[in-house]
């Protein structure tokens, strides 16, 4: 029998085994739904294989070397040698452990795994091709489908990821040796995280950004400590330039960048009068953002609509315009973050199981793993104001934290924003040491509707960085002990 003739059926078909898809599949399995997960490449998706995990592994490893090299103040004198291939091997080991864990968890929760590429045939079936010579394809009928096909890096004209010196973020996480120089196109979070990695490894890093600032999605007070640190690390910036082409020089390349109409972060446009710049470098990393993978699925065969950027719009139950087909994760829109996808995936599985679940983004966190880290949850001060509340703000600088000083990292602050009248915490941001971890408590406070008084009157162990959260809340009430209340 030809493999292509086989038709199988499933209640819930999940397309894509990244964090959004595997979380949906595992939750559906827990809810006793008959679920099949189709993955074309590697379980864990971008996050585990080419994104969150490998980038954080390299950030940690380079920090170990960098910290050791710069610990003279603590009486430590060391000059560690970095073996890039060894570092990448260790990172790959972490990735392998996690991806095989995802596969085991899926199986243990009763998820049927299917390797192949799914395309819609109509609104109740897909064709899954198993790739490779003679491996054929099969049809899978479904009652419900969850599209979790993620995103891919955006390519810009003149820079083809197939060309050896042109790197995508995926390539930049698996280099065999430390490049002497690197031009990074794009000063968003991926570009800035990798700029830090390579600057700390000794690479001469230059960042070209079309806009007029780094990390444009974040308020100035949060981005400033990162900008200062980048300067200390020797990273060069060219704002208001757009990379247009690269030329082969034989022993390296030349990246040409034209002056862009630098779109100011406030939305205004300002013409930049300047000549093109030419940057000689070993490699160029293009990190200008990501686009949804919705164009390779034949979604039109199922009648699924996309917006003008290719995202699949969904309602608060994760439903597309076709009621029994859901979309979760990067393909369903911003913010393109792994935890947002996992949350959507789990919620949608519950919706399909008939539970009274709905998606609520009020306490959605976001973290940039730069040096120092930036972490935010809930509303910013401006958003609180725009929503008609009187913002009540409390702030605590890490330089007043005993624990921060003992780690040697005391840049940055914790800031909380509440509604003046009720005291409810509506948002928080942290820039500084372990901001990513400190955010957990703040997210819980926003989610539970805690007041600044609740947070400030919770006893925090001493000496910890988390005391800064308590102090920021107390500062909002003019009751901070370790900083001046003004």
Ligand X SMILES: Cc1cc2nc3c(=O)[nH]c(=O)nc-3n(C[C@H](O)[C@H](O)[C@H](O)COP(=O)(O)OP(=O)(O)OC[C@H]3O[C@@H](n4cnc5c(N)ncnc54)[C@H](O)[C@@H]3O)c2cc1C
Q: Which active-site residues does the annotation give?
A: 462
The long-range contacts involving 474-480, CB below 8 angstroms and separated by at least 24 positions, are 474/394, 475/394, 475/395, 475/396, 476/392, 476/393, 476/394, 476/416, 476/418, 476/452, 477/394, 477/452, 477/453, 480/394, 480/396
Of the candidate residues 223, 325, 337, 359, the single one contacting ligand X (CB under 6 A): 337
Using the minimum distance from each CB to ligand X, give the nearer residue, 129 or 244. 129
Measured distance CA(181)–CA(280) in Å, rounded: 8
Q: Quick check: 45 binds ligand X (CB under 6 A)?
A: yes
Q: What is the DSSP string of 203-218?
A: -EEEEEESSSSSSTTS
φ and ψ of 476, to 5 deg: -60, -25
Report the residue from 12, 13, 14, 20 that binds ligand X according to the rule CB under 6 A.
20
- Residue 283 within binding range of ligand X, rule CB under 6 A: no
Q: Which of 10, 12, 14, 16 binds ligand X (CB under 6 A)?
A: 16
For position 40 contacting ligand X by CB under 6 A, the verdict is: yes
Q: How far is the CB of 427 from ligand X (least distance, A)?
A: 18
Q: Which two tokens stand for residue 462?
A: 């001493």
Among 36, 151, 370, 475, binds ligand X (CB under 6 A): 151
DSSP letters spanning 76-136:
----PPP-HHHHHHHHHHHHHHHHHHHHHHHHHTTPEEEESEEEEEETTEEEEE--STT--
Which of 13, 28, 33, 47 binds ligand X (CB under 6 A)? It is 47
For ligand X, the closer CB: 195 or 297: 297
Contact call for residue 293 and ligand X (CB under 6 A): yes
Q: Does 19 bind ligand X (CB under 6 A)?
A: yes
Is residue 292 involved in binding ligand X (CB under 6 A)? Answer: no
Residues within window 345-374 making contact with ligand X, judged by CB under 6 A? 369
Q: How far is the CB of 385 from ligand X (least distance, A)?
A: 27
For residue 92, which phi and psi values (nearest 5 degrees)?
Answer: -65, -35
- Taking CB under 6 A as the binding criterion, the range among 51-59, 225-233, 348-356, 394-402 that sits at the site for ligand X is 51-59
| Footprint (CB under 6 A) of ligand X, residues 169-208 | 169, 190
| The token pair that represents 378 in the structure block | 């809930």
Residue 314 within binding range of ligand X, rule CB under 6 A: no
Most distant CA atoms of the chain, gap in Å = 79
DSSP code of residue 319 = B
Residues that bind ligand X (CB under 6 A): 15-21, 38-41, 45-47, 50-52, 55, 117-118, 148-151, 169, 190, 293, 296-297, 329-330, 336-339, 341, 369
């Amino acid at each position: 029998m030809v493999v292509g003739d086989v038709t199988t059926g499933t209640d819930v078909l999940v397309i894509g085994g990244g964090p959004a898809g595997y979380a949906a599949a595992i939750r559906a399995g827990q809810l006793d739904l008959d679920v099949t997960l189709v993955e074309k490449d590697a379980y864990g998706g971008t996050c585990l294989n080419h994104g969150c995990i490998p980038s954080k592994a390299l950030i940690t490893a380079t920090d170990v070397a960098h910290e050791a090299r710069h610990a003279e103040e603590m009486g430590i004198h060391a000059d560690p040698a970095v073996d890039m291939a060894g570092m990448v091997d260790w990172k790959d080991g972490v990735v392998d452990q996690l991806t095989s864990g995802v596969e085991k968890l899926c199986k243990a929760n009763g998820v049927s795994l299917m390797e192949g590429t799914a395309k819609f045939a109509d609104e109740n079936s897909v064709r899954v091709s198993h790739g490779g010579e003679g491996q054929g394809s099969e049809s899978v009928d479904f009652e419900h489908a969850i599209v979790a096909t993620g995103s891919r890096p955006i390519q810009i004209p003149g820079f083809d990821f197939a060309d050896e010196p042109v790197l995508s973020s995926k390539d930049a996480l698996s280099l065999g040796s430390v490049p002497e120089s690197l031009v990074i196109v794009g000063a968003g979070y991926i570009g800035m995280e990798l700029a830090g990695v390579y600057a700390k490894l000794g690479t001469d890093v230059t960042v070209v950004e079309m806009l007029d600032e780094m990390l444009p999605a974040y308020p100035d007070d949060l981005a400033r400590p990162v900008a200062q640190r980048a300067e200390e690390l020797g990273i060069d910036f060219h704002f208001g330039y757009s990379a247009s082409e690269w030329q082969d020089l034989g022993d390296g390349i030349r990246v040409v960048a034209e002056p862009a109409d630098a779109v100011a972060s406030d939305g205004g446009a300002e013409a930049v009068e300047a000549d093109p710049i030419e940057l000689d470098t070993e490699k160029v990393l293009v990190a200008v953002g990501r686009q949804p993978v919705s164009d390779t699925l034949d979604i039109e065969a199922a009648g699924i609509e996309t917006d003008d950027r290719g995202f699949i719009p969904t309602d608060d139950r994760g439903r597309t315009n076709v009621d029994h087909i859901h979309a979760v994760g990067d393909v369903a829109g911003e913010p393109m973050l792994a935890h947002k996808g996992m949350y959507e995936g789990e919620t949608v599985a519950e919706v399909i199981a008939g539970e009274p679940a709905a998606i609520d983004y009020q306490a959605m966190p976001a973290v940039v793993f730069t040096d120092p880290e930036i972490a935010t949850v809930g509303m910013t001060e401006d958003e609180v104001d725009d929503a008609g509340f009187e913002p009540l703000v409390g702030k605590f600088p890490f330089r007043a934290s005993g624990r921060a000083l003992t780690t040697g990292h005391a840049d940055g602050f914790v800031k909380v924003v509440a509604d003046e009248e009720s005291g409810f915490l509506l948002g928080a941001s942290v820039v500084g040491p372990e901001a990513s971890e400190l955010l957990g408590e703040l997210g819980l406070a926003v989610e539970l509707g805690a007041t600044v008084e609740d947070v400030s009157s919770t006893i925090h162990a001493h000496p910890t960085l988390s005391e800064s959260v308590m102090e920021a809340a107390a500062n909002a009430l003019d009751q901070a002990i370790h900083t001046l209340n003004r």
